[in-house]
C-alpha cells in the first residue's frame, strides 16, 4: 500500500450545484448551490429540521442526491443515479454522538482509518494527532473512561488521521456545556487550520458558527437563505429569516420617505438602504440592539423599560416606545435601570436593513 | 437571547438507508424465516378446523374438564405463590438494608438453575416413606407405617409448591428491576407529601412496578403451562400430560393437536397480558434521573424477619435439593463414572451446542433484517418468529412431528412407487426434527440477546467506519462482531442451557435410542431409581448455574445511577429570559 503520509495534503474545494436531497421520494433540501474554497471552513446553520444534517450526509455520501451534483475538487461524487461510496471519498466525519468504537482504545480508534499504513507511520500519526488535540499519553485509555470533551477530541483525531480532503462535523459540540462550546469551536478551528483541511460544520448555534466558520450558509425549510460571512449575515441579511435568526433585533414598520430615509416610530432613520424603494412604500426595518443608544441627556426618543437581562459587561433592555412598538437596546452595565423606568434614546444606524412589508420570509422562533 | 435554546430536540433522522425501490432481500429473508418457525403453531391451529374424531369426542366428555380444572388450579396456586414470595423479597433487597442483603440479591436467583421436574423428584425422594424425613419421624416417635399423617407431596398442592419454588425468580427479577429503575424523585416526593415507608410502598412504588410484576407473573405462568415433567411425575392430569397420553396412549395425533390448540389459546391470553403490561411499563417510567436511594436500615426483629424471608426461598428452592442431589450422586458414583454416562453428557452437549449455534445464527439474520430494513413487515416477522418462547415444548413437538412425518411418509411412498427405494424417516426420525423444535422454542432467547447487543452499535458507528474507508463487510467484521462478541457468547450460552434443561419436546422428538441428560434423569426417576437419576440432574443444575451467574453480573453492571454521564448539562447557566419576543412581530 502506498504511504499516504508523504503525499501533499490536498484540501478539497466543495461545490454544491443545485442539489436536492430527500428520503423515499420526499425532498428535504431544495436547490442548494454553494462553493466552499479549498482550505476554508464553512458552516451550515439553521433551526432543527431545516435539512442541514441531511445536506451534510449527502456530502459525506450517506445519502444520494435527487437533483444537481456535488463535486469535490472537480470530481463529481454525487449526481442522480450515482453516489460514490462514503469510504471512497476521502472525507472525514465527526458525529454528534462521537460514535467512538467502544471495543478499541484511543490509539485503536484513531488508527482505524489508517490500518493499511505501515506500523511506524501509523504510530507516528497517532502520536502527532494526540499531541495536536492535547491528549498525549492517552493511547491505551478506552472511550468510556474519558470525559465528553475528551471523547469529542478523540473523534476529531480519528476523523483527521487519514488526512481527509474534507472534514464534516455534525453538531459536534451539541452535548457540551454551553460555556465550552465556542472555546471548543475555536480550538477545533485551529486544529483544522494546522491540518490544512477544508471543513464543514453543521450547527443550530450561531455563536458556534461565528467562532468556527469563514463562511456560513443559513438554511430554512430546506432552502438556502444566504451563503456569506458572519459579518454580512449580521449586517446585510438577505431576507427576513436571516435577519431574525442571526443576532438579536426587532423588526418595526416604517415608510420610505426619501432614497436613504425611512419614517418609523423612532422618527426618521437615515442611512444607506439595503435595496431601492419608491418613496412612500411601506417597509419593515430591522433594528439591532446596537442601532440605538441610551442618551439620557440629549436623547430625543422616549422609551420605557419593559424587561432586561444582565449579560455581564452589558444589559440587554427591552424598551417600549410611546406608540407601543417594542425594540431592544444594549447598554453598558454600569447604569442599572429597573423595569418601568423611563429612558431617552439616540439613533446610531450605520446602514439600514429594510424589507418590503408582507415579505413573509420570517417564521417565529 | 443570544443563543437559541441549546438542547433543541432534533427530529429523529429517518433510519431508512436505501431507496425503497431496491429488491428487498432482508424483508424476504426475515419473512421466510418467520414463516418456517411459525409452522408448528400454524399446524396446531390448523387442526382446530379439522373434523373432530371419536377420540376427541371421548376426551371432551371425560378428560377435558379435568385438564382445564387442574391447569387453572395450578396456574392460580403458582400465581399466588410467586407473587407472595417474589414481590416482598424484591422490595426488601432493593430498598432495605439488612445483614446479607448483597448476597441475597443474587442468591435469590439460584432456583432458576433448578428445573421443576428435578426439584420434584428430589423432594419426592426426601419426603416419601423411605426418605430421610419420614425415617427421622419414625425414629423419633417410634410410630410405624400408617400410624401418623404425613402430607403427600405427589399431589396438586405439591406441584404448586414445586413450581412456585423454582418460578418465583421471574417475578423477583422483573420487580426488582422495576424498583431499581424507579426514579428516586417520586419516592422522595411521596415522602415530602407525608407517606411513610409503608405508604410509600403501597401507594407509589408498587403501583409503579405493577406492569413489571405482571410481566414476571405471566412469564412464570407460561412456564407452568409448559411444564410436563413435574405434573407427569406427580400423576396430575393437565393439558401437557393429556397431550402425551393422547399421542402415545390413544395414538391419535389429530386429537393431540386439538388438545394442544386449546392449551395454546391459554398461552395466547398470557402473551397478550404480557405485551400489554410491557406497554404499560413504558408509561410508568418516571424519569431518567437516578441516584442511589438511602436504604431503610432494618434492625432487631425486622432484620431477622427480612433475612428469614430471603433465606427460605433459597433454602427450599435451591440449597436443600442441591445438597440432596449431591449426596445421592456421591452414593452412586458407579452410575456416572463410566463411559455410558460420558457418552450421555457428550450427546447432550453436542445437541445443545448445535441448537445454540442455529438459534443464534437465525437471531442474527432476523436482528440484522430489522436493523437494515426496519418497517412493519420485517418487524412483524421478527415478532412472530420470537413467539415460540411462550409455546409449550409439548405443543411444538406435536406441531413439528405432524408435518415432518407427513413429509417423510409422502416422500417414502413416492420414492418406493417410482424407484423402488425407501427413504425412511428423513426428518422426523432424526436430530433434524429436534433441532428445528429447539430453534422454534428458543429463538426468542437468542433474538432478545442479539438485538440488545446490536442496539449498542449506534448507526453513526457504521457511518463512522464507512467514512474511514471501510466497506460494509469490513464494518461487519471489524466493528460489529468485536462489539457483539460478548453478546453472542451470552446468547449461545443461554440457548445451550435451555436446551439442556428441555424435556417434553426432547422426549417426543428424539431419535430412537438417543438420550440426553434430561431424558435420562426423567426416565430413571420415573422408574423410582431416584438416587441413580441424581447424577444427570446434578449435571443439569450445575450447567444451569452459568446463566444465573451471568445474569447477576449483567444486572449489577447495568444498574442505573451507578455512573452518571460526564457532561454536566443540567448545570448550564442560562440567561434570564427576556419577556419580549426578540424581534418577530411589530407591536
Reduced to 3 states (helix: H, G, I; strand: E, B; else coil), residue B217 is helix
DSSP single-letter state for residue A299: -
Structure confidence by residue, pLDDT tens digits, B136-172: 888 888 877 777 778 888 889 999 999 999 999 989 9
Q: What is the mean pLDDT of residues B369-380?
A: 79
**Contact yes or no for A99 and B460 at CB 8 A:** yes
Give the SS3 label for residue A166.
strand
Angle at B554 between CA B550 and CA B555, to 5 degrees: 120
Which residue in A has a C-alpha nearest to residue B471's C-alpha?
Answer: A87
In SS3 terms, B139-180 reads as: HHHCCCCCCCCCCCCCCHHHHHHHHHHHHHHHHHHHHHHHHH
Give rounded-to-5 percent helix, strand, coil for chain A. 25, 35, 40
C-beta atoms of A364 and B581 within 8 A: yes
**Cα atoms in the Cβ-side hemisphere of radius 13 Å centred on B398:** 33
CB contact B5 to A (< 8 Å): no
Quick one: closest CA in B to A160, which residue?
B468
Between B11, B485, B582, which is nearest A248 by CB?
B582
Q: Which of A24, A77, A91, A99 to mutate to test the interface with B (most CBs of B within 10 A)?
A: A99
> Coil, helix or strand for B322?
helix
CB contact under 8 A, A250 and B583: yes
- Chain A residues with CB-CB distance to B585 below 8 A: 251, 364
For residues A216 and B127, which has the higher predicted lDDT (pLDDT)?
Answer: A216
Identify the band that residue B579 occupies on the pLDDT scale cut at 50, 70 and 90: very low
Q: Give φ, ψ of B321 to 5 degrees.
A: -65, -35
Q: Which three cell numbers stand for residue B530?
A: 431416584
Instruction: Pick B44 or A362 by higher pLDDT.
Output: B44
Between the alpha carbon of residue B227 and those of residues A180, A356, B111, B218, B511, the distances in Å are 60, 79, 16, 14, 22
Strand arrangement of the beta sheet that strand A267-270 belongs to: A267-270, A261-264, A250-258, A282-287, A354-356
Question: What whole-number distance in Å separates Cα of residue A299 and Cα of residue A266?
Answer: 11
Residue A173 — left, alpha, or beta (φ > 0 → left; ψ -120 to 50 → alpha)?
alpha
pLDDT-based confidence at residue B284 (cuts at 50, 70, 90) = low
Taking only the tens place, the pLDDT of each residue in A283-340 is 888 888 888 888 888 888 889 999 888 887 888 888 898 888 888 888 887 778 888 8
Do residue B468 and residue A310 have CB atoms under 8 angstroms apart?
Answer: no
Q: State how far the Cα of A258 lies from the Cα of A252, in Å rounded to an integer.
A: 18
Report the candidate in A258, A274, A247 with the shortest Cα–Cα distance to residue A355. Answer: A274
> Which residues of B, range 558-587, sit inside 8 Å of A by Cβ?
565-569, 571-587
Reduce the DSSP state of residue A147 to 3 states and report it.
coil
Q: Is the separation of the CB atoms in A51 and A224 below 8 Å? A: no
Are residues B481 and B432 in contact, defined by beta-carbon separation less than 8 angstroms?
no
- Measured between alpha carbons, how far is residue B54 from residues B58, B259, B261 in Å? 6, 14, 17
Interface test with A, best of B22, B464, B576 (most A CBs within 10 A): B464
Phi and psi for A261 in degrees, rounded to 5? -150, 135
Span A71-95, average pLDDT: 90
- A81, closest residue in chain B (CA to CA): B19
Q: Please identify which residue in the block is written with the cell numbers 373432530.
A: B52
Closest CA to B90 of B208, B171, B205, B183: B171
Mean pLDDT of chain B: 80
Pairwise CA distance, residues B188 & B182, whole Å: 11
Q: Which residue of A has its CA nearest to B576?
A: A309
CB contacts of A178 in chain B (<8 Å) are 3, 6, 572-574
Length of chain A: 365
- The yes-or-no verdict on residue B565 having pLDDT over 50 is no
Collapsing DSSP to helix, strand or coil, A167 comes out as strand
B121, B43, B14, B108: which is closest to B400 by C-alpha?
Answer: B43
Integer Cα distance of B236 and B66 in angstroms: 9
Residue A34, Cα to own-chain centre: how many angstroms? Answer: 14
Q: Is the pLDDT of residue A184 over 50?
A: yes
Give the mutation candidate from A102, A209, A221, A266 for the B interface (greatest B CB count, under 10 A).
Answer: A102
3-class DSSP state for residue A346?
strand
At residue B9, the pLDDT reads 34
Put simply, the answer to whether A308 touches B578 (Cβ < 8 Å) is yes
Answer for the pair B222, B329: CB distance below 8 angstroms, yes or no. no
Exposed / middle / buried, residue A95 (Cβ in 10 Å: 0-12, 13-18, 19+):
buried
Cell numbers at B483, concatenated: 462489539
Domain A249-356 has CATH 2.40.50.140: yes
Bigger pLDDT: B375 vs B443: B443
Subunit contact A311:B568, Cβ cutoff 8 A:
no
Instruction: Give the pLDDT of residue A119.
Output: 92
B583·A206 Cβ contact <8 A = no
Check if the beta carbon of residue B370 is closer than 8 Å to that of residue B450.
no
Backbone angles phi, psi at A207, to 5 degrees: -65, -40
First-to-last CA distance in chain B? 19
Packing angle between helix B431-455 and helix B376-385, nearest 10 degrees? 130
Q: Is A60 helix (H, G, I), strand (E, B) or coil?
A: helix
Residues of chain A contacting B562 with CB distance shorter than 8 Å: none
Query: From the centroid of its chain, how far is CA A189?
Result: 13
d(CA B57, CA B264): 19
8-state DSSP, B298: P
Q: What is the mean pLDDT of chain A?
A: 85
Q: Are A179 and A211 in contact (CB under 8 A)?
A: no
Indicate yes or no: CB of B466 within 8 angstroms of CB of A87: yes
Inform me whether the C-beta atom of residue B340 falls under 8 Å from chain A C-beta atoms. Answer: no
Question: Shortest CA distance to B468 belongs to which of A29, A63, A94?
Answer: A94
Using CA atoms, how far residue B230 sits from A283, B227, B257, B272, in Å, is: 87, 7, 21, 26
Assign a CATH topology to domain A12-240.
Rossmann fold (3.40.50)
Which residue from B435, B361, B366 is spatially nearest to B29, judged by alpha carbons? B366
Contact B90, B176 (CB under 8 A): yes
End-to-end distance of chain A based on CA atoms, in angstroms? 52
Q: Which of B239, B242, B240 is nearest to B228 (CA)?
A: B240
Most confident of B241-245, B281-285, B575-579: B241-245
Q: What is the pLDDT of residues B450-506, one digit of tens each?
A: 888 888 788 888 889 988 888 888 888 888 888 888 888 888 888 898 898 889 899
B1–chain A Cβ distance below 8 A for any pair: yes
Query: How are beta strands A301-310 and A342-347 bridged, if at all?
Result: antiparallel
Contacts of B473 in chain A (CB under 8 A): none
pLDDT of residue A364: 35
Q: With H, G, I as helix, E, B as strand and everything else as coil, classify residue A77.
A: strand
Distance CA A209, CA A206 (A): 5
B469 touches chain A (CB under 8 A): yes
Query: What nine digits make up the cell of A139?
Result: 493511547
Q: Given a cut of 50, is residue A273 above it in pLDDT?
A: yes
Name beta bridge partners: A263.
Answer: A255, A268
Q: How far apart are CA B304 and CA B312, in angstroms?
A: 12
| CA angle in degrees (0–180, nearest 5) for A78-A82-A85 | 75
pLDDT band at B584 (very low <50, low <70, confident <90, very high): very low
Pairing type for strands A250-258 and A261-264 reads: antiparallel
Rounded to whole angstroms, what are the CA distances from B89 to B12, B308, B396, B557?
40, 10, 34, 21
Stretch B413-424: mean pLDDT, rounded?
A: 82
Cell of B318: 435451591
Q: What is the DSSP letter of B317?
A: I
Domain with CATH 3.40.50.300 in chain A: 12-240
Give CA–CA dist A80/B398, Å, rounded: 55
Residues of chain A with CATH 2.40.50.140: 249-356
What does the radius of gyration of chain B's CA atoms come to, in whole angstroms?
Answer: 27
pLDDT tens profile B33-52? 888 988 888 888 888 777 76
Calculate the alpha carbon distances from A361 to A51, A238, A358, B44, B166 in Å. 17, 10, 9, 64, 68
The answer to whether residue A100 scores a pLDDT higher than 50 is: yes
- Burial classification of residue A114, based on how many CB atoms lie within 10 Å of its CB (0-12 exposed, 13-18 middle, 19 or more buried): buried
**% of residues, chain B, pLDDT over 70:** 85
Q: Is A177 in Cβ contact with B568 (below 8 Å)?
A: yes
Residue B429 pLDDT greater than 80, yes or no: no
Burial of B334 per CB tally in 10 Å (0-12, 13-18, 19+): exposed
Any chain A CB within 8 A of the CB of B12? no
Per residue in B404-413, pLDDT tens? 888 888 888 8
pLDDT for A34:
93
CA dist list (Å): A121 to A9, A116, A118, B434: 16, 10, 6, 55
pLDDT confidence band for A359 (50 / 70 / 90): low
Residue B339, chain A, CB below 8 Å: the answer is no
How many residues are there in chain B? Answer: 587
Query: For B462-503, what is the HEC assignment?
Result: HHHHHHCCCCHHHHHHHHHHHHHHHHHHHHHHHHHHHHHHCC
Nearest CA in chain B to A250: B583
Say yes or no for a CB contact (<8 Å) between A23 and B583.
no
Amino acid at each position: 500500500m502506498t504511504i499516504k503520509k508523504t503525499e501533499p495534503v490536498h484540501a478539497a474545494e466543495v461545490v454544491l450545484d443545485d442539489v436536492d436531497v430527500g428520503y423515499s421520494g420526499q425532498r428535504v433540501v431544495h436547490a442548494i448551490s454553494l462553493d466552499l474554497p479549498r482550505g476554508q471552513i464553512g458552516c451550515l446553520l439553521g433551526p432543527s429540521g431545516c435539512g442541514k444534517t441531511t445536506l451534510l450526509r449527502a456530502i459525506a455520501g450517506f445519502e444520494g442526491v435527487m437533483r444537481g451534483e456535488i463535486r469535490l475538487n472537480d470530481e463529481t461524487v454525487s449526481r442522480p443515479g450515482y453516489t460514490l461510496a462514503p469510504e471512497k471519498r476521502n472525507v472525514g466525519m465527526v458525529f454528534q454522538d462521537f460514535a467512538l468504537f467502544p471495543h478499541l482504545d484511543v490509539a485503536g480508534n484513531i488508527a482505524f482509518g489508517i490500518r493499511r499504513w505501515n506500523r511506524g507511520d501509523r504510530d507516528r500519526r497517532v502520536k502527532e494527532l494526540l499531541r495536536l488535540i492535547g491528549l498525549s499519553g492517552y493511547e491505551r485509555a478506552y472511550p468510556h473512561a474519558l470525559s465528553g470533551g475528551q471523547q469529542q477530541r478523540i473523534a476529531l483525531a480519528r476523523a483527521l488521521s487519514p488526512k481527509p480532503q474534507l472534514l464534516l462535523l455534525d453538531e459536534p459540540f451539541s452535548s457540551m456545556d454551553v460555556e465550552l462550546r465556542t472555546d471548543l469551536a475555536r480550538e477545533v478551528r485551529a486544529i483544522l487550520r494546522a491540518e490544512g483541511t477544508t471543513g464543514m460544520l453543521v450547527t443550530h448555534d450561531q455563536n458556534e458558527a461565528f467562532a468556527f466558520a469563514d463562511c456560513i450558509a443559513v438554511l430554512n425549510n430546506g432552502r438556502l437563505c444566504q451563503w456569506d460571512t458572519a459579518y454580512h449575515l449580521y449586517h446585510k441579511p438577505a431576507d427576513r429569516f436571516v435577519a431574525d435568526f442571526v443576532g438579536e433585533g426587532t423588526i418595526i414598520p416604517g415608510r420610505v420617505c426619501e432614497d436613504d430615509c425611512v419614517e418609523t416610530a423612532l422618527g426618521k432613520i437615515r442611512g444607506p438602504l439595503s435595496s431601492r424603494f419608491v418613496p412612500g412604500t411601506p417597509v419593515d426595518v430591522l433594528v439591532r440592539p446596537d442601532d440605538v443608544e441610551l442618551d439620557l441627556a440629549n436623547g430625543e426618543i422616549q422609551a420605557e423599560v419593559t424587561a432586561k437581562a444582565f449579560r455581564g459587561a452589558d444589559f440587554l433592555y427591552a424598551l417600549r416606545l410611546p406608540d407601543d412598538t417594542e425594540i431592544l437596546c444594549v447598554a453598558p452595565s454600569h447604569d442599572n435601570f429597573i423595569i418601568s423606568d423611563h429612558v431617552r434614546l439616540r439613533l446610531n444606524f450605520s446602514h439600514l436593513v429594510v424589507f418590503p412589508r408582507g415579505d413573509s420570509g420570517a417564521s417565529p422562533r | 437571547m443570544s443563543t437559541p435554546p441549546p438542547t433543541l430536540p432534533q427530529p429523529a433522522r429517518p433510519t431508512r438507508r436505501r431507496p425503497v425501490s431496491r429488491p428487498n432481500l432482508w424483508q424476504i429473508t426475515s419473512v421466510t424465516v418467520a414463516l418456517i418457525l411459525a409452522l408448528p403453531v400454524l399446524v396446531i391451529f390448523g387442526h382446530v378446523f379439522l373434523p373432530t374424531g371419536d377420540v376427541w369426542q371421548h376426551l371432551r366428555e371425560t378428560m377435558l374438564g379435568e385438564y382445564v380444572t387442574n391447569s387453572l388450579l395450578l396456574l392460580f396456586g403458582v400465581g399466588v405463590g410467586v407473587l407472595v414470595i417474589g414481590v416482598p423479597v424484591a422490595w426488601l433487597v432493593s430498598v432495605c438494608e439488612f445483614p446479607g442483603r448483597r448476597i441475597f440479591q443474587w442468591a435469590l436467583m439460584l432456583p432458576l438453575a433448578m428445573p421443576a421436574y428435578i426439584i420434584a423428584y428430589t423432594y419426592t425422594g426426601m419426603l416419601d416413606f423411605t426418605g430421610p424425613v419420614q425415617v427421622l419421624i419414625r425414629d423419633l416417635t417410634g410410630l410405624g407405617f400408617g400410624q401418623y399423617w404425613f402430607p403427600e407431596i405427589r399431589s396438586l398442592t405439591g406441584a404448586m409448591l414445586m413450581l412456585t419454588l423454582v418460578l418465583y425468580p421471574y417475578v423477583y427479577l422483573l420487580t426488582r428491576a422495576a424498583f431499581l429503575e424507579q426514579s428516586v424523585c417520586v419516592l422522595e416526593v411521596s415522602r415530602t407529601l407525608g407517606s411513610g415507608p409503608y405508604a410509600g410502598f403501597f401507594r407509589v412504588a408498587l403501583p409503579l412496578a405493577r406492569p413489571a410484576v405482571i410481566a414476571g407473573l405471566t412469564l412464570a405462568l407460561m412456564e407452568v403451562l409448559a411444564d410436563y415433567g413435574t405434573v407427569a411425575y406427580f400423576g396430575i392430569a393437565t393439558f401437557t400430560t393429556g397431550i402425551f397420553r393422547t399421542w402415545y396412549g390413544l395414538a391419535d395425533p389429530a386429537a393431540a393437536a386439538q388438545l394442544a390448540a386449546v392449551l395454546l389459546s391459554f398461552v395466547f391470553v398470557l402473551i397478550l397480558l404480557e405485551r400489554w403490561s410491557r406497554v404499560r411499563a413504558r408509561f410508568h417510567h418516571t424519569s431518567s434521573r437516578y441516584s442511589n436511594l438511602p436504604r431503610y436500615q432494618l434492625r432487631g426483629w425486622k432484620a431477622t424477619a427480612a433475612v428469614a424471608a430471603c433465606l427460605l426461598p433459597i433454602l427450599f428452592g435451591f440449597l436443600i435439593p442441591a445438597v440432596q442431589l449431591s449426596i445421592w450422586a456421591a452414593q452412586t458414583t458407579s452410575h456416572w463414572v463410566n463411559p455410558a454416562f460420558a457418552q450421555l453428557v457428550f450427546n447432550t452437549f453436542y445437541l445443545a451446542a448445535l441448537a445454540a449455534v442455529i438459534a443464534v445464527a437465525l437471531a442474527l439474520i432476523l436482528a440484522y433484517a430489522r436493523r437494515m430494513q426496519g418497517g412493519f413487515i420485517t418487524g412483524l416477522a421478527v415478532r412472530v418468529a420470537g413467539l415460540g418462547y411462550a409455546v409449550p415444548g409439548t405443543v411444538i413437538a406435536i406441531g413439528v412431528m405432524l408435518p415432518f412425518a407427513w413429509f417423510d411418509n409422502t416422500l417414502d411412498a413416492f420414492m418406493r412407487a417410482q424407484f423402488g427405494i425407501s427413504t425412511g424417516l428423513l426428518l422426523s426420525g432424526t436430530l433434524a426434527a429436534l433441532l428445528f423444535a429447539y430453534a422454534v422454542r428458543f429463538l426468542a432467547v437468542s433474538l432478545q440477546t442479539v438485538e440488545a447487543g446490536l442496539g449498542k452499535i449506534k448507526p453513526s458507528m457504521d457511518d463512522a467506519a464507512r467514512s474511514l474507508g471501510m466497506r460494509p463487510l469490513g464494518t461487519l467484521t471489524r466493528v460489529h462482531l468485536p462489539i457483539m462478541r460478548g453478546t453472542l457468547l451470552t446468547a449461545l450460552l443461554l440457548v445451550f442451557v435451555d436446551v439442556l434443561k428441555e424435556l417434553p419436546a426432547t422426549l417426543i422428538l428424539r431419535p430412537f435410542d438417543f438420550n440426553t441428560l434430561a431424558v435420562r434423569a426423567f426416565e430413571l426417576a420415573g422408574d423410582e431409581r431416584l438416587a441413580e437419576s441424581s447424577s444427570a440432574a446434578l449435571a443439569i443444575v450445575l450447567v444451569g448455574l452459568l446463566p444465573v451467574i451471568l445474569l447477576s453480573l449483567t444486572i449489577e453492571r447495568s444498574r442505573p445511577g451507578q455512573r452518571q454521564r460526564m457532561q454536566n448539562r443540567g448545570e448550564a447557566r442560562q440567561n434570564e429570559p427576556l419577556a419580549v419576543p426578540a424581534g418577530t412581530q411589530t407591536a
